[in-house]
Amino acid sequence: MDAIKSPYWGFVKDPIYGYIRLTEVEKNIIDTLAVQRLRRIRQLAGAEYVYPAANHTRFEHVLGAMYLAGVVAENLPVDLSSEEKQKIRLAALLHDVGHAPFSHLFEPMLLRFLHRNHEDMSSWIIADSSLTDVIRAQGYDPKELSNLAVGKQATADKRFFGQIISSSFDVDKMDFVVRDSYHTGAGYGSVDVFRLIYTMDILDGNLAVDITALPTLESLILARLESFRAIYFHRACRAVQMMLLRALDFAKDDLEILRINNPDQYLEWDDYSVWSKLIQHPQSREILRDLSQRRLLKCAYEKTFFVKDDQVSNVFTTENVRTELEEEIARKAKVPADEIRIDVPSLPSVPYHNALRIGPIDIPIFSKTRSGAKIPQKITELSKVVDVLQVFMNILRVYTREDYREQVGDAATEVLGESPLSNVLSY
Amino acid sequence: MDAIKSPYWGFVKDPIYGYIRLTEVEKNIIDTLAVQRLRRIRQLAGAEYVYPAANHTRFEHVLGAMYLAGVVAENLPVDLSSEEKQKIRLAALLHDVGHAPFSHLFEPMLLRFLHRNHEDMSSWIIADSSLTDVIRAQGYDPKELSNLAVGKQATADKRFFGQIISSSFDVDKMDFVVRDSYHTGAGYGSVDVFRLIYTMDILDGNLAVDITALPTLESLILARLESFRAIYFHRACRAVQMMLLRALDFAKDDLEILRINNPDQYLEWDDYSVWSKLIQHPQSREILRDLSQRRLLKCAYEKTFFVKDDQVSNVFTTENVRTELEEEIARKAKVPADEIRIDVPSLPSVPYHNALRIGPIDIPIFSKTRSGAKIPQKITELSKVVDVLQVFMNILRVYTREDYREQVGDAATEVLGESPLSNVLSY
Amino acid sequence: MDAIKSPYWGFVKDPIYGYIRLTEVEKNIIDTLAVQRLRRIRQLAGAEYVYPAANHTRFEHVLGAMYLAGVVAENLPVDLSSEEKQKIRLAALLHDVGHAPFSHLFEPMLLRFLHRNHEDMSSWIIADSSLTDVIRAQGYDPKELSNLAVGKQATADKRFFGQIISSSFDVDKMDFVVRDSYHTGAGYGSVDVFRLIYTMDILDGNLAVDITALPTLESLILARLESFRAIYFHRACRAVQMMLLRALDFAKDDLEILRINNPDQYLEWDDYSVWSKLIQHPQSREILRDLSQRRLLKCAYEKTFFVKDDQVSNVFTTENVRTELEEEIARKAKVPADEIRIDVPSLPSVPYHNALRIGPIDIPIFSKTRSGAKIPQKITELSKVVDVLQVFMNILRVYTREDYREQVGDAATEVLGESPLSNVLSY
Amino acid sequence: MDAIKSPYWGFVKDPIYGYIRLTEVEKNIIDTLAVQRLRRIRQLAGAEYVYPAANHTRFEHVLGAMYLAGVVAENLPVDLSSEEKQKIRLAALLHDVGHAPFSHLFEPMLLRFLHRNHEDMSSWIIADSSLTDVIRAQGYDPKELSNLAVGKQATADKRFFGQIISSSFDVDKMDFVVRDSYHTGAGYGSVDVFRLIYTMDILDGNLAVDITALPTLESLILARLESFRAIYFHRACRAVQMMLLRALDFAKDDLEILRINNPDQYLEWDDYSVWSKLIQHPQSREILRDLSQRRLLKCAYEKTFFVKDDQVSNVFTTENVRTELEEEIARKAKVPADEIRIDVPSLPSVPYHNALRIGPIDIPIFSKTRSGAKIPQKITELSKVVDVLQVFMNILRVYTREDYREQVGDAATEVLGESPLSNVLSY
């Protein structure tokens, strides 16, 4: 009964999971510019205009994802070494370092100017920045973590390593569903993520879920859908996002982040610096002023539809088509064309990103026979709820300035067909 | 600024809604044997064997239902008098006074011996017991409350009065979804019931929901489905319920509650007195002993299926068919026939009890035009989730003693077809 | 990476701590009459008349205490064997098996008739009942657990084993402070028990707390004080308890539990069977009828005072003195003497039960030097809050029937001195 | 039963109180630069380095304070007009518009350069900025709100108006105790603020509390004390604050906010713009870089003491004395003097800001006689807990760079006396 040394360096308190233990390796990687910067990148840019308390950042989210990844690794019925578990936790910790200011909102700019999405940026930063040296100094391989953090895993028998970080029931999604609900108060469902985790197993090298947790899986999928409707695709959130996007577009020639040469330059930029840039920029300043007084674009027309084929959604997501429709509505409404914005956010309801490696749009699920054998099952055959959520939800909206709302609403109805528009409940 | 007299008598603290105000009328009706007896009738008989903390009773549930009924009445965009609001609250308070010991578990006995369900009992008690005098003394009409408490409302333009108490989105369901989750910890979904309530309106005299709350309605419906799977139809809960039912059947000739002449005799019986009776009764004693040591029936075979037509479920819910199958399984398993129990709990997923008055299996939902007009909508057309949940979930299980489990499992598979059986997660 | 066998048998879901893992040993001991009986013994008899949802039982409490004991054992910076940790968990699980029906309420009857308190009963049951055989069959020593479950530990260097189970910051108190708050909704403080646990260490063989957790310790102590005021000593709770005590006294000659010869006979009795007995008993029936309609004794006079010496409290806790005062008040109020009840519940605010072994009224606390040495500190010197709470809180109340309230209040004021009496907030 | 128009404009969802209703007046005042700017001023600058999720802002806090102010106004047993209630809500909404970037952290700079504290700034902004016109346009008197928002109320009989906004149990404190706990997860106590509110009354024109809520009042006071220790005065939080303060001091000549001529110029500045300024400023840049990698000052020495007189605290809060001690420690430790920082945060535990108007350090409390008369009581006589918390808690700390920690610790011990220093629990 001698005193023993804890393998942990200390604790950090999270309002959701309580005390999260940190190893010294983790502490040293957390205390880098790459990870600390996430403190100034909000998780849900725009959502705070609807849910005032939704000011949580990517920083606490990655700590939460790391924690959940550790719980998964500890509970999977396979022998993992301490080092393997540490790698999985680190990959979860680092999976979001590549996010741009305002998170997903900036994604189109990333693609357009840097030809990378945020996952590519995460990989790049892990493999080739000031963070890289710290990772190496802690005894871990930056290249390996750079892949693992975006769900890539070299050896087939350990595909589940990557799937813990990136799949349709990964620690990223589990954490944000719970965390976004906690901070918004949106209350679309407190998913029992630990039930899901405790029933996870490996099936042919893939992360899989026991059929007994199917209800929880359905809850997770529905909660994600609800969170899109209640938060990410909320009319006012989208209005803010469109305004910010236009401001970014106006200022694009003066935004150094769009012309970086290496990851360390990218890491200079966060919500604070971009917001400060935009508010001083002659072209974008006015939009920021409007945001600063919550003078938002207003939704004059809205229609929601679900399609299984991509045809309808393609029509609206094609820029040319959208522009033509905007102009037609503007003509009929007798307002300037640049006062009309058609918005078509859409979501694949069960977006299993690693579909190619796993199989077409399906989550590995199994049942156990009385002898303990794991029998693969088709989730869409077992769950009508999952099956029906396998669709794309499309929302088509026409936004304009508050004082044009009426005439644009009429014009949009004429062009796009009758659609009822109820008052929003939330602010 | 003179001191004013509060119309409320006082507060009672609820862990879910916080302080619930009571009027003096309510206080006087709560402090009757009929309502106080609900303290000794547990909400979820059997569930405590799976969720140890699920010891909540009908008493706090009816207080919660009364509270929610008040919130609905206060927020509906119609003028209701204080007296009307008080009636609605009282009806919610009294809607469950008719429950038998062990709540729903006892329902088949009620029907068989007293030819009444628990709602009939509620009406009877309100209209013709010691409670009746108290209601009358408080200035309310027992007959009217007796109807309203089970969702019946005489005048067509106030159909929504009854629907607040009894419909597919009534205060009863809203309260128990939230409360059962709180006390079990099952965590299948924290439904934002206040969002639902704040968007309620009246459509042609019926209680209706604004289309903007559709996601919340879907959450409520899914949460109910999950609660059935996670709690009410849980293997071990059902095992307890079957054991209690058999114990009741054994002792039926000596159970005075099955031979009552008036409601006041009925009110003598609660969980405490029935349990004490059963544990002393020579026939049922042994089953209670088993329960007292958590020696439960074991599930040897399980199959879940969803059917839209009633054919399949009828097969299994017909007693003769079940008995024949039990005997066949017993023969093949070489065990006594009375050691085999086929259990087929089933649920109509969206059980709109007042279907006849409202329309076929549909929840009134509307969208508002920009001019404020309410346009009725078909929920099943708008929500694929609701549409798909419009089915019956059937679970077919074969239970037996622990030591017969293996051979009965084999025999059942032979008779009923292959079906995988995973290990349960929960205790 | 072969599949490994979990050392755990399964999970049980608790609304407070989430999933609690059980070993097979624990499962087998839980599934005994001795432990399962706690399902029918409520944690806070009488409190449900003030907090309607306070229907939790000793059963979920002992599961919670076992869970916390495991967390303590896992986190103490000493090497404990798996078997030692299992013993500590089992002791916590079994610490309350000796509770009588209605828990503490019954304690005076236990002492008077069986000459044992509930801890003595726990020891007796563990060492000499049907439970004993199960413990032995699982490979554990009933005698050792029988001591450990009440905080006794033979070897000096492992005194902390017992202190985990029974001391002023033991797992029993930590669990009930949190659990009572959860189920009552009383909200007197959500103590961060995990912070306390994570800073625990051993000081000279005793369980001790790092000075950095002093604020949490103060919270725990204050929360206990608040819980006494808000729940255990609440006017209406005490009224219920006095009524039940009188009913028990009336029926004492027919209560078999007061004349048991062995623990197994004791285990026949629970809240259900005693309540059913009392409601049928000719002497106690009327009191139970009053309770069943919430016709409670009313408090006509109340005075709270804090004393450091025992003199004042002794005056009131002496039965003769109380009886004389009751008679005098009755005379002056012109009501029958047996309609007056003086109640003097009192609490030692920091009741360190193992004071003799540890030192006078003090919780072991230490600070660490920069070199890691643990320096013992005096908590009462460090914390003015703890120091001031080191007192006895005495409440003196006079109860009577509702219709005598006024005259008894006047008479009590005459006899006992002026004391203001505010209206209660809660029901 | 015609459709009635809600006096409310809509809802906003708060994770703590649920749906908060807004009137149109409130909506229009919220949607101003002065209030919207609070979205970019964090409630607890520095705390996020210890509690990663503590990213909440003044914006949601003022909504919460407004909500609670409304609940107080609705529940006080006096007749208030709709307009009076609206004024009270607006005052709570606006009480913090004067906060500088990083909230309290900036306060010394405000005093030094603008000779105003944040309350003075609130008054100034309300009375003389772009906000003023909006207030006037909504029909309210800016001057009156400007006073009320900082607790000043002209007429003696309505002193409680101001006390709802600013006193030792005001809606500001009630909201932040609950909200800081929610977002940090610090869990020092979930104070039942509604119990406090429901027992409030008016005593001689002052806001007062019924003695029955004394336990809740003690909880609130203790929770505030704990929150100071756990959050505001936490070693690492203070380290961040000292670093930011020094950075501000370095950049002070280039900070336009320190040279503003009118409130509208002040409103240009928030956390975003000041942080962006500091990170680009040649003198302060390095400190910000350290913060960006969480390279914090380290505490080498710490001593906590409580004094009732101000003598001891004055010694340390006198700048000259501090500087001399810093230099002496530096000499002994052989490190540059500017690497030593003595920090002495202190708090008056029960800071009743309106002491002069109410009476010496006391919260108005009363008990009710049976006839309903309110008898004033002395809280410090009734509550030993409040009495003992009536002190100043002083913490004396010596900070330095991580690599000087050891030698500075030794030197400080020599100069300031022995003091144990335990390891921190939290990150």
- For C318-335, how does the pLDDT look when each residue is reduced to its tens digit (9 = 90+)? 778 889 999 999 999 999
Contact yes or no for C113/C258 (Cβ under 8 A): yes
Query: What percent of chain D is predicted at pLDDT more than 90?
Result: 66
pLDDT exceeds 70 at position C249: yes
Q: What is Dmax (Cα atoms) for chain C?
A: 84
Closest chain B residue to A375, measured at CA: B420
Burial (0-12, 13-18, 19+ Cβ within 10 Å), A253: exposed
Produce one character per residue of B138-162: b if its CB has 16 or more CB atoms within 10 Å, e if not: bebebebbbbbbbbbbeeeebbbbb
Q: Give me the helices (H) in A159-310, please.
A: 159-165, 171-184, 193-198, 214-227, 235-251, 263-266, 271-280, 285-292
Residue C312 is predicted with a pLDDT of: 57
Rounded mean pLDDT of chain B? 87
Of C192, C369, C420, nearest to D187 by CB-CB distance is: C192
What is the amino acid identity at position D63? L
Pairwise CA distance, residues B242 & B316, whole Å: 16
Pairwise CA distance, residues D57 & D14, whole Å: 13
Contact yes or no for B380/B389 (Cβ under 8 A): no
373-402 of A, contacting B, C-beta below 8 A:
375, 377, 384-385, 387-389, 391
Chain C neighbors (3+ CB pairs < 8 Å): A, B, D
Contact yes or no for D97/D40 (Cβ under 8 A): no
Contact yes or no for B78/C78 (Cβ under 8 A): no
Of C188, C385, C406, nearest to D192 by CB-CB distance is: C188
pLDDT tens-digit profile of D218-250? 888 888 878 888 888 899 999 999 999 999 999
* pLDDT tier for residue A214 given thresholds of 50, 70 and 90: confident
* Mean pLDDT score, C37-56: 96
Sequence-distant (≥ 6) Cβ neighbours of residue B294 within 8 angstroms: B49, C30, C31, C36
Residue C426 is predicted with a pLDDT of: 37
Q: Minimal Cα–Cα distance from D193 to chain A, Å? A: 19
Give D133's Cβ-side CA count (13 Å radius): 5
On chain C, the residues whose CB falls within 8 A of the CB of B13 are 50-51, 184-186, 426-427
Residue B189 is predicted with a pLDDT of: 60
Pairwise CA distance, residues B185 & D388, whole Å: 39
Tell me the pairing of strands B365-368 and C18-22: unpaired
Residue B154 is predicted with a pLDDT of: 75
Counted residue by residue, chain C has a size of 427
Of C152, A412, D130, give the one whose Cα is nearest residue B370: A412
Of D394, D396, D397, give the one whose Cα is nearest residue D347: D394
Q: Minimal Cα–Cα distance from A64 to chain B, Å? A: 19
Pairwise CA distance, residues A21 & A8, whole Å: 6
pLDDT exceeds 80 at position C189: no
CB contact under 8 A, A11 and D426: yes
Query: What percent of chain B is predicted at pLDDT more than 70?
Result: 88
On chain D, the residues whose CB falls within 8 A of the CB of C215 are 188, 226, 229-230
Pairwise CA distance, residues A313 & B170, whole Å: 37
Residue D351 is predicted with a pLDDT of: 39
CA distance to C252, D242, D265, per residue, from D245 (Å): 73, 5, 21
Angle at B419 between CA A354 and CA B416, to 5 degrees: 155
D211 in contact with C, Cβ within 8 Å: yes
pLDDT exceeds 60 at position A421: no
Q: Where are the beta strands (DSSP E) in C157-297?
A: 200-203, 206-210
Between A276-280, B268-272, C60-64, C390-394, the lowest mean confidence (pLDDT) is in C390-394
Of C71, C74, C65, C72, give the one whose Cα is nearest residue C175: C65
C337 in contact with D, Cβ within 8 Å: no
pLDDT tens-digit profile of C340-396? 999 887 655 443 333 333 333 468 888 887 778 898 888 877 777 777 766 656 788
Sequence-distant (≥ 6) Cβ neighbours of residue A232 within 8 angstroms: A44, A47, A345
pLDDT tens-digit profile of B239-292? 999 999 999 999 999 999 999 999 999 999 999 999 999 999 999 999 999 999
CA distance to A206, C240, C275, C282, D200, per residue, from C255 (Å): 62, 20, 11, 13, 48
Burial (0-12, 13-18, 19+ Cβ within 10 Å), D5: exposed
pLDDT exceeds 90 at position B395: no
Between B306-315, C233-242, C340-349, the lowest mean confidence (pLDDT) is in B306-315
Residue D62 is predicted with a pLDDT of: 98
Pairwise CA distance, residues D231 & D225, whole Å: 10
Residue B355 is predicted with a pLDDT of: 31
Closest chain A residue to D46, measured at CA: A39
Residue B312 is predicted with a pLDDT of: 57
pLDDT exceeds 80 at position B194: yes
Between B210-219, C105-114, D295-304, the lowest mean confidence (pLDDT) is in B210-219
CB contact under 8 A, A222 and B218: yes
pLDDT exceeds 80 at position B305: no
On chain D, the residues whose CB falls within 8 A of the CB of C213 are 425
Q: Minimal Cα–Cα distance from B341 to chain A, Å? A: 19
Pairwise CA distance, residues D337 & D378, whole Å: 49
D155 in contact with B, Cβ within 8 Å: no
Query: What percent of chain C is predicted at pLDDT more than 90?
Result: 66
* Mean pLDDT score, D340-368: 61
Residue A363 is predicted with a pLDDT of: 80
Of C137, C68, C138, C62, give the one whose Cα is nearest residue C94: C62
Residue B187 is predicted with a pLDDT of: 72
Pairwise CA distance, residues D349 & D220, whole Å: 11
Closest chain D residue to C377, measured at CA: D420
Rounded mean pLDDT of chain D? 87
Q: Minimal Cα–Cα distance from A1 to chain C, Å? A: 4
pLDDT exceeds 80 at position D52: yes
pLDDT exceeds 60 at position A335: yes
- Give the pair of three-digit tokens for residue B210: 């604004």
Contact yes or no for B317/B344 (Cβ under 8 A): yes
Residue A222 is predicted with a pLDDT of: 80
* Mean pLDDT score, D282-307: 90
Q: Minimal Cα–Cα distance from C426 to chain D, Å? A: 9
Q: How crowded is residue A318: how many other Cβ atoms within 10 Å of its Cβ? A: 12
More confident residue, D3 or D132: D132
Of B18, B292, B424, nearest to C37 by CB-CB distance is: B292
Residue C5 is predicted with a pLDDT of: 40
CB contact under 8 A, D55 and A55: yes
pLDDT tens-digit profile of C196-221? 999 999 998 899 999 888 888 888 88
Contact yes or no for C84/C141 (Cβ under 8 A): no
pLDDT tens-digit profile of A40-73? 999 999 999 999 999 999 999 999 999 999 999 9
pLDDT exceeds 80 at position B75: yes
Angle at C247 between CA C241 and CA C251, to 5 degrees: 145
A75 in contact with B, Cβ within 8 Å: no
Pairwise CA distance, residues D247 & D376, whole Å: 50
* pLDDT tier for residue B315 given thresholds of 50, 70 and 90: low
CB contact under 8 A, B52 and C32: no
What is the amino acid identity at position D11? F
Rounded mean pLDDT of chain C? 87
First vs last C-alpha separation in chain B: 59
DSSP for residue A113: I
Rounded mean pLDDT of chain A? 87
160-199 of C, contacting B, C-beta below 8 A:
182-186
Element (H, E) at B187: none
Tell me the pairing of strands A206-210 and A365-368: parallel
Residue C356 is predicted with a pLDDT of: 31
CB contact under 8 A, B11 and D198: yes
DSSP for residue A32: S
Query: What percent of chain A is predicted at pLDDT more than 70?
Result: 88
Residue C2 is predicted with a pLDDT of: 39
pLDDT exceeds 80 at position D407: yes
CB contact under 8 A, D375 and C420: yes
CB contact under 8 A, B210 and A306: no
More confident residue, C379 or C147: C147
Pairwise CA distance, residues C35 & C419, whole Å: 45
More confident residue, D416 or A420: D416
pLDDT exceeds 80 at position C281: yes
pLDDT exceeds 50 at position D5: no
Closest chain A residue to D187, measured at CA: A15
Give B303's Cβ-side CA count (13 Å radius): 16
Of C189, C198, C425, nearest to D189 by CB-CB distance is: C189
Chain D neighbors (3+ CB pairs < 8 Å): A, B, C
- ipTM score of complex: 0.92
* pLDDT tier for residue A353 given thresholds of 50, 70 and 90: very low
To test the contact with chain B by mutation, choose from D1, D2, D206 the residue with the greatest count of B C-beta atoms within 10 A, namely: D1
Contact yes or no for A187/B191 (Cβ under 8 A): yes
Of B397, B338, B321, B317, give the one whose Cα is nearest residue B108: B317
Residue D278 is predicted with a pLDDT of: 97
C78 in contact with A, Cβ within 8 Å: yes
Contact yes or no for D29/D262 (Cβ under 8 A): no
pTM: 0.93
pLDDT tens-digit profile of C75-134? 999 999 999 999 999 999 999 999 999 999 999 899 999 999 999 999 999 999 999 999
On chain B, the residues whose CB falls within 8 A of the CB of A218 are 222, 226
What is the amino acid identity at position D69? A
CB contact under 8 A, A218 and B222: yes
220-279 of D, contacting A, C-beta below 8 A:
271-273, 275-276, 279
Of A53, A276, A424, nearest to D60 by CB-CB distance is: A53
Sequence-distant (≥ 6) Cβ neighbours of residue A356 within 8 angstroms: none
Contact yes or no for C361/C322 (Cβ under 8 A): no
